[in-house]
Amino acid sequence: MKRIITVMTVIIVALLPISKAFGEESPLKSDTEKLSYSVGLEIGTSLQNMKDDVDINILTDGLVDGFKGNTPLLTPEQAAEIKQQFIAKMQEKQAKMIKELADKNLKEGEAFLAENKKRKGVITTASGLQYEILREGDGEKPKQTDTVKVHYRGKLINGDEFDSSYERDEPAVFPVSGVIPGWTEALQLMNVGSKHHIYIPAKLAYGEQGAGRVIGPNATLDFEVELLSIEEQKEKN
């Protein structure tokens, strides 16, 4: 509802030049018609994801009754209960979808890592982390208490890239202990100047939570990591 009110406010503010926006051939002649259609269009668009759950004709009846102040067919308590039931249904549906995706990602990740470990040059640690050395540096290895500067490129095992400091042309600086467990372990295996390809199982990455819209639940991650330097620690006053 707040979103609809906000959209109405924006439309009203922009009402002055609205005739030009619709063009000369628009069947909507008055500003009232155009505003009414714009609000209706916004409401309809916001309901597209509910097509299987909403009857547009009954929805229109409710809209008219609310607008005209007619006696509603449901009490406020009944309407609130129906909405709560719908929310619970959607949450259950979403949880099921996430569980199915998590199981799928975990299975695919395990299969990928099982095959990947057979490749020449790939090293698997006790935790399940896998890495291969693309370039061996001759600097020091960072400790868990250090802060490092790195360049990296992150992908999913299907090849989709989700992050890259190279693309931003700006190395990342962060504490070794301030990242996902797979990174914390991998960084301590690298000398400054090294470049490694690391493969991080879900349990050492973002697990069942995933991260954002791209990294799904139980996703196995694929990184190229270049350790540029260990940053000097600034003394605290």
Pairing of strands 172-175, 161-164: unpaired
Residues with catalytic function:
152, 162-163, 180, 206, 223
The per-residue b/e assignment along 151-176, b for 16 or more CB within 10 angstroms, e otherwise, is bbbbebbeeeebbebeeeeeeeeeeb
Token pair listed for 60: 């229109």
Element (H, E) at 20: helix 18-22
Among 201, 191, 150, 145, CA closest to 172:
150
Long-range contacts of 153-159 (CB under 8 A, 24+ apart): 153/223, 153/224, 154/221, 154/222, 154/223, 155/221, 155/222, 155/223, 156/214, 156/215, 156/219, 156/220, 156/221, 156/222, 157/108, 157/109, 157/112, 157/219, 157/220, 157/221, 157/222
3-state secondary structure of 164: strand
Per-residue DSSP letter, 30: S
Q: How many CB atoms lie within 10 A of CB 109?
A: 22
